[in-house]
Amino acid sequence: MTCDDFDEEACLSCLNQDYDHVKLYICDDSRSSLFIERIQRFVEAYPSCERIVRRDRKGFKAGNINHALRHHVRTEWFLLVDADQRLPGNFVSLLRAVIPSNGRDAPLFIQGAHSAFPAKDCTAFQSALGPEVELFYQRDLVLRERFGFVPLLGHGALIQRKACLDLGGFPEVVSEDFAFALRAARVGKRGTYVPHVESWEAYPHDLGAFLTRLNKFSGGSAELIRKELGPFFLSPVSWVEKWDFTMAMAWYVLMPCLLVNGFLSAYVVHILWRGELNYLHPWLPYLYTWLLIALVGLCVSVTRTGKQAVRFFFWSTAVYTAALPVCSWAFTKHLFLSPKFERTPKGREPTTVRFHELVLAGCFGVLALALAMSWWSPFSPILLGQGVAFLSLGLYMRLSSMSSLGRLARLLVYLPGFLYLTGLYAVWAWAKA
């Protein structure tokens, strides 16, 4: 799948498989003549490659896939590959080995795992936050395969073509992969996840690309909740799967709640502090402390050194907090309005943070700093940390820059996490007093 983001190395990794029966289709939604010409030259150089073009871009990525399946692809199984994904030479054969020999008990799709590109090929932003890829695929998704709902993740998955078309193809929504898995589960068809079969994917190269992807996830999740959650809950799918999928969507539902809760908690704790009323349960600080220890333990489990774990914890804390107002708005808005598909910028493609996003984050940042000082309490450092992150949204665009501003950004990115830890200690000490 490509749209003005052709990566020749990704295509070569598809062709250089140790499995004999492979044909590469490049489903090209590009508008740039530069990319169209590059793709055409590549196709002419490799006979087992074909470029597929459609008349319009209706249905986003889902429409592109459906067009290819209905008019060009004739194989029993097809493998979805993203424009910047790199496959090891045995990727197809390892996924093929999962298909039962009788064929009748084959899953609808076989989802492979992913890991981030090696650090030598990455920006500072990717190097610091890349462990999130392994955190999801090797910690989260492994448990979902054993106990919960297995989603399709839109790339690195082998899928039955006929069964896919029998379901009507991919739903033409922003999160077409999750929607496809939901509709399949409603009629008793499911996929499987194989964590030992890995390919490589690129983490967003800077904050602009990260925000584009997170906004897409937020809006797409709101659309799923609005269009797909009701029929999924009314279907005969097990309650375990229903609960698990709800928890998968809960992060996006909680974003607006987390944003509001920072201010609400600051006010409540301020009233208690000013009135010298300690209503916190004595176990509460221990609960939050152990949650922090568990979180740090997860960070250590997907990083190679303690230094990498510390960097991942502090960078992810700051970046996700900074994105909270923007993504909260994206989720809330698309509970009522259909989102548009936004392609995540690939490679080192230039990105920006939109002006209204900077204004929104800045307003929340100024409000958080003002109220943290006005509503002074042991909770104030936490609200201060949120305010600092909100106001730093534009600065974090420089996290991979080698300029003096980039060095300042890489220093200040630790401040929100430090303030959170300070606030946690302050609340803990107050509760124990």
Q: Is the pLDDT of residue 40 over 70?
A: yes
CATH 3.90.550.10 domain position(s) in the chain: 8-202
84 or 184, which is more confident: 184
Q: Are 23 and 52 in contact (CB under 8 A)?
A: no
CA distance 230 to 363: 35
Query: What value does the mean pLDDT of the chain take?
Result: 91
For 357-386, what is the mean pLDDT? 95
CA distance 91 to 65: 21
Cα–Cα distances in angstroms (integers) from residue 124 to residues 119, 135, 165, 351, 401, in the given order? 9, 18, 42, 16, 8
pTM of the predicted protein model: 0.91
CA distance 107 to 110: 7
CA distance 351 to 252: 24
Range of lowest pLDDT (23-32, 84-93, 114-123): 114-123
Q: Report helix, strand or coil for 174.
A: coil
Assigned token pair, 228: 């797909």
- Closest among 323, 330, 327, 345 to 394, alpha carbons compared: 323
Q: Report helix, strand or coil for 161.
A: helix
Q: What pLDDT, on the 0 to 100 scale, is given for residue 278?
A: 65
DSSP code, position 136: I
For 161-190, what is the mean pLDDT? 94
Predicted confidence band of residue 15 (pLDDT cuts 50, 70, 90)? very high
Assigned token pair, 340: 């548009």
Q: What pLDDT, on the 0 to 100 scale, is given for residue 279?
A: 66
Q: What pLDDT, on the 0 to 100 scale, is given for residue 121?
A: 73
Q: Is the pLDDT of residue 104 over 80?
A: no
Q: Are 2 and 30 in contact (CB under 8 A)?
A: yes
Q: What pLDDT, on the 0 to 100 scale, is given for residue 119?
A: 62
Q: Report helix, strand or coil for 106.
A: coil
Q: Let me know how long the chain is.
A: 433
Q: CB under 8 Å to 192, separation ≥6 — which residues?
A: 98, 107, 109, 110, 111, 145, 150
DSSP code, position 4: S
The CATH homologous superfamily for domain 8-202 is Spore Coat Polysaccharide Biosynthesis Protein SpsA; Chain A (3.90.550.10)
- List the end-to-end C-alpha distance of the chain, in Å, as a whole number: 59
For 116-141, what is the mean pLDDT? 87
Range of lowest pLDDT (74-83, 178-187, 277-286): 277-286
CA distance 186 to 237: 6
Assigned token pair, 309: 């774990």
Q: Is the pLDDT of residue 351 over 70?
A: yes
Q: What is the per-residue pLDDT across 184-227, written as a single tens digit (0 to 9) for each?
A: 999 999 999 999 999 998 899 999 999 999 999 999 999 999 99
Q: Are 79 and 191 in contact (CB under 8 A)?
A: no
CA distance 204 to 348: 9
Q: Is the pLDDT of residue 157 over 80?
A: yes
CA distance 29 to 1: 8
pLDDT above 90 covers what percent of the chain? 70
